[in-house]
Amino acid sequence: MGEKDIISKQIFKRILVDVATYLFGLELQSAELLETEQQRIEDRRADLCARVVDKNQQTFILHLEIQNQNQRIMPERMLRYFTDLRLQYPNETIFQYLLYIGREPLNMNNGIDTEQLQYRYSVIDMHRKNYHEFLNQQTPDAVVMAILCDFNGVEKHEVVHEVLRNLIALTQGNQQQLREYISMLEILASNRNLGLDIRQEFEMLHVEIEKLPSFVMGVEKGLEQGMEQGLEQGMELGKMEQTKIIAKQLLGFHMPVEKVAQVTGLSVAELNVLNKN
pLDDT tens digits for 200-234?
A: 888 777 655 444 444 334 434 443 443 344 434 44
**Angstrom distance (rounded) from CA 156 to CA 153:** 9
For the chain, residues with pLDDT lower than 70 are: 1-14, 36-47, 206-243, 245-246, 249-250, 252-255, 262-263, 277
User: pLDDT at position 1, please?
Assistant: 43
What ranges do the domains of the chain cover?
3-128, 135-210, 216-263
**Angstrom distance (rounded) from CA 46 to CA 71:** 14
Residues 252-273: tens digit of each pLDDT: 656 677 777 766 777 888 888 8
**Angstrom distance (rounded) from CA 4 to CA 221:** 43
**Angstrom distance (rounded) from CA 263 to CA 178:** 14
**Angstrom distance (rounded) from CA 180 to CA 254:** 26
User: pLDDT at position 258, please?
Assistant: 76
Alpha-carbon torsion (78, 192, 150, 136), positive or negative: positive
Residues 30, 16: contact at Cβ < 8 Å?
Answer: no
Of all helices (H) and strands (E), which one includes residue 55? none
Of all helices (H) and strands (E), which one includes residue 228? helix 227-252
User: pLDDT at position 79, please?
Assistant: 95
User: pLDDT at position 22, please?
Assistant: 85
In what order do the strands lie in the sheet containing 122-125?
A: 28-33, 47-54, 59-67, 94-100, 122-125
- Measured CA distances, 229 to 122, 211, 254, 261 (Å): 59, 21, 38, 28
User: pLDDT at position 44, please?
Assistant: 43
User: pLDDT at position 238, please?
Assistant: 53
Is residue 44 classed as helix, strand or coil in its secondary structure? helix
Residue 185 burial class via C-beta count within 10 angstroms: exposed 0-12, middle 13-18, buried 19 and up: buried
